[in-house]
Structures are given as structure tokens and as C-alpha cells.
Structure 1
Amino acid sequence: MGKGGKCRVLIVEDEAMISMLIEDMVVDLGYEVVGPAARLDHALTLALQAEIDIGMLDINVDGSVVFPVADVLRFRGIPFVFSTGYDARSLPERFRSSLTLSKPFSYNNLETTLRSALEEATCSPEVSRLLG
């Protein structure tokens, strides 16, 4: 958890305008932004080292797939949500049950999906407090 007990959201998105829109939505929801990362190497560094409560991952990041980042987050026990313009059925088998937001998505869809991912992942006292 970040400063002031805010949930920290790693944003991985290579399109600058979409990234700024997601950042604004995340901040409006009362969360703290980690990143954003527009390249796979930066996203991997953050996934490995940053204090993160949840990840918001664009599937195609600057021509690379984001699945190594999702693998790191899963290994660390950190929930994540894929955001994509692709069909969610194109996900590798190991991620087929992952929550996915189809682009474009609304503020309400983002809020509901992030909350669902956090609730499914842990239900720890810290997360329960974050979700109010």
C-alpha cells in the first residue's frame, strides 16, 4: 500500500493518450499510480521491484506481449487485469480466467473490475480496508 493507505495500481500502457486517461481514472478512484510503463522492460522492472497492489496491463505493449509481466505479478501474488482491444479468447491458456477489460472501457467498468480483482485475490484485512 502506498502513502496514506492508498491502493497502488501498476499501469502498463504504451498509448500515451490512453495511459493518461487510465491514470486520471485510477486517481479519481482514490488509488495511487505506479508507472505508467510504456515498454516491456520498464514494466518488468516495476513488476519485480515496486510496491504494487494490482496491475492494469495492456496486452500489446510497444509490439511485445505483456505476459511476462503478468507472470511476475502472479508469482508475487499481485492481482492484475488485462486491458485490450483484442478478443480475450486470444489469451494464453494460463490467463484465460484472468479478468479482462475490453477497450474502450468506461470509468464504471474500470472501477468494478479493479475492485473485483482485489476482492478475488486476497480478502486480507488490508485489502478489505482499501475497498471500504
Structure 2
Amino acid sequence: MLSRMASKPLILLVEDDPEFGAQMAERVDELGYGVMGPAVTLEDAEALVAQRAPDAALLDGVLAGRSSAPFAEALAARGVPFAFVTGDDRIAGLAKALKHVPLLTKPVSEKVLAETLAHLVAH
């Protein structure tokens, strides 16, 4: 799913839980952003980014047992700001190593989501 209007910042969602991904897509849309995805695999996410670079991204830290860190590094190399959204403690060490990367813990409050997205698109 790729929905956007020219004036809306475009947010890539990468989430392997379809229900949570759909909820996040709805919440991001309600906050006034365009939504790319949600991509449920890293390959899906890479395909979406190949079509168009997002303005920012929200990444599940671990997808089907695979770390999203390599994809996050590729986004960073392209200048795309991102945050990790995870319920998995294995990503916590990565977020500490990448001090500039926000780490949101599931479930994410509306306030934290809104503040994080505003911060990401401002940079």
C-alpha cells in the first residue's frame, strides 16, 4: 500500500505483525502523514524504498527472527531518518550503540508517536 499526497511527509512502516502494522498505518495516517507499507519483510521494505525514498521510517527491530539493523543502516546511508518500534529486547543494545536512533517500545502512545514522527521529519 502506498498512499500519499504531495504535501504530506511519507513514512515507511516495516512491521512483521500484520495487525500491529495496520494499526500503526492508521495512526500515522491520522497524524497527517503519508504511509508506505506496512512492509512485512525486509525484502518488501527494500522494494518500496527502491520505488521512492520515504521522508522517515518506523522499523520493527526484529522481523521473523532477522534484525532490521542492516536495512536501518542502508536507510541512514541514504539520509532517511528512522526510529525502531519494538517489543523485543534484543534491539535495545543496537539502539544504545546508535545513540541518535529513537527506540519506541510497543505499545506506543499517541503522544510518543506524534513527537517521534515530528522529530524525524524535521531532520
TM-score range, shorter chain: 0.7 to 0.9
Map 1:4-23 onto structure 2 (within 5 A).
Answer: 4-23=6-25
Q: One-letter code of the match for 1:90?
A: G
Provide the residue aligned with 1:28 in structure 2.
Answer: 30
The within-5 A match list for 1:1-132 is 2-87=4-89, 89-91=92-94, 94-119=97-122, 121=123
Distance (Å, rounded) in 2 between the aligned partners of 1:40 and 1:94: 21
**In 2: Cα distance, 1:89 partner to 1:3 partner:** 34
| Paired AA for residue 65 in structure 1 | S
Post-superposition Cα deviations, 1:46-91, rounded to whole Å, max 9, x if no partner, equal: 2344231000000011221111211111011010010011345321
Q: Which runs of 5+ in 2 are unaligned?
A: none
TM-score (norm 1): 0.81
Paired residues in the alignment total 119
Hey, what's the Cα distance between the residues in 2 that align with 1:68 and 1:57?
A: 11
Partner letter of residue 43 of structure 2?
A: D
Gaps of 5+ in 1: 122-132
Confirm or deny: 8 A CA contact 1:48 1:72 kept in the other structure: no
Identity of aligned residues (%): 34
* Runs of at least 4 residues off by over 4 Å: none
Bigger proportion of residues as helix: 1
Aligned-CA RMSD value: 1.8
Alpha-carbon distance between aligned partners in 2 of 1:92 and 1:26, rounded to the nearest angstrom: 22
- Higher alpha-carbon Rg: 1
Distance 2:70 2:50 in 1: 11
